[in-house]
């Protein structure tokens, strides 16, 4: 429970309500919706990472070094933001199916923290190297501040990939109740005829 002045927010109660919505139940009960969302999420994230990789390698002077940086930014960032929106929507839809389990998962929390750090790192680029981009736009690599941002970006996004995969290995999209154990009738199991437990009569002696 989080307290802020007069406002009190019950996080776990909110998450319980979230995963109990009709939308969450519909996704859980469908055979195809969750796998489809997961596939779109993975493809979208692959494109997010791919476009960011292109930009980071350009800042480091390891790829597309002959292209002006402003052109690379214009070409890739529109796809980065579009695909990030896709991954955010699909990720949120998967989250609501089992919100409490995801919230308690350490890899999920680390991934969210890394995404915040990625945003802070991008802001650092905007406030430092990008302000002087006209001075180094056609240089082979960015100034030191830009290269540091690029290296940090690569480390963060590789870590996001790792934690994202670990979420899939350590959670389930639905909580399945385990049925109570039942007594096993071995006679029924092996096809024995129904009846009482008295031993079968022996052979009738000859008269």
Using DSSP's 3-state secondary structure scheme, residue 199 falls into coil
Q: Indicate if the pLDDT at residue 49 is higher than 70.
A: yes
- pLDDT tens-place string over residues 136-165: 999 999 999 999 999 999 999 999 999 999
In a domain, 46, yes or no: yes
In a domain, 100, yes or no: yes
Q: Indicate if the pLDDT at residue 180 is higher than 70.
A: no
In the chain, the number of structural domains is 1
In a domain, 198, yes or no: no
Determine the longest span between alpha carbons in the chain, in angstroms: 119
Per-position DSSP letters for 5-58, written without gaps between them: TTEEE-HHHHHHHHHTSHHHHHHHH-SSHHHHHHHHHHHHHHHHHHHHHHHHHH
Q: Quote the DSSP letter at residue 138.
A: T
Specify the pLDDT at position 90. Answer: 96
Residue 39: domain span: 2-177
Cα separation, 56 vs 147, in Å, equals: 8
Q: Indicate if the pLDDT at residue 188 is higher than 80.
A: no
In a domain, 200, yes or no: no
Helix (H) or strand (E) holding 4: strand 2-4
Which tops the pLDDT comparison, 109 or 6? 109
Which tops the pLDDT comparison, 177 or 1? 1
Q: Is the dihedral of CA 183, 187, 193, 195 positive or negative?
A: negative
In a domain, 68, yes or no: yes
- The rounded Cα 89 to chain-centroid distance in angstroms is 11
- pLDDT tens-place string over residues 80-112: 999 999 999 999 999 999 999 999 999 999 999
Cα separation, 166 vs 162, in Å, equals: 6
Q: Indicate if the pLDDT at residue 69 is higher than 80.
A: yes
Query: Over pLDDT 70: what percentage of the chain?
Result: 78
Mean pLDDT (the chain) is 84
Q: Indicate if the pLDDT at residue 45 is higher than 60.
A: yes
Specify the pLDDT at position 193. Answer: 54
Residue 64: band (very low, low, confident or very high) from pLDDT cuts 50, 70, 90: confident
In a domain, 185, yes or no: no
In a domain, 127, yes or no: yes
In a domain, 193, yes or no: no
């Amino acid at each position: 429970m989080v307290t802020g002045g007069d406002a009190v927010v019950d996080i776990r109660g909110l998450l319980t309500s979230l995963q109990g919505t009709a939308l969450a139940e519909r996704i859980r009960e469908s055979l195809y919706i969750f796998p489809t969302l997961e596939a779109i999420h993975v493809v979208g994230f692959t494109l997010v990472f791919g476009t960011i990789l292109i930009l980071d390698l350009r800042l480091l002077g390891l790829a597309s070094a002959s292209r002006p940086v402003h052109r690379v930014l214009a070409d890739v960032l529109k796809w980065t933001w579009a695909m990030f929106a896709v991954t955010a929507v699909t990720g949120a839809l998967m989250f609501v199916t089992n919100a409490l389990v995801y919230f308690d998962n350490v890899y999920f929390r680390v991934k969210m923290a890394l995404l915040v750090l990625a945003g802070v790192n991008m802001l650092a680029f905007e406030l430092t190297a990008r302000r002087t981009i006209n001075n180094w736009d056609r240089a082979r690599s960015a100034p030191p501040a830009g290269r540091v941002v690029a290296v940090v970006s690569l480390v963060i996004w590789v870590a996001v990939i790792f934690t994202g995969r670990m979420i899939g290995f350590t959670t389930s999209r639905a909580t399945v109740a385990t049925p109570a154990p039942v007594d096993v009738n071995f006679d029924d199991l092996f096809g024995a005829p129904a009846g009482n437990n008295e031993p079968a009569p022996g052979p009738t002696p000859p008269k």
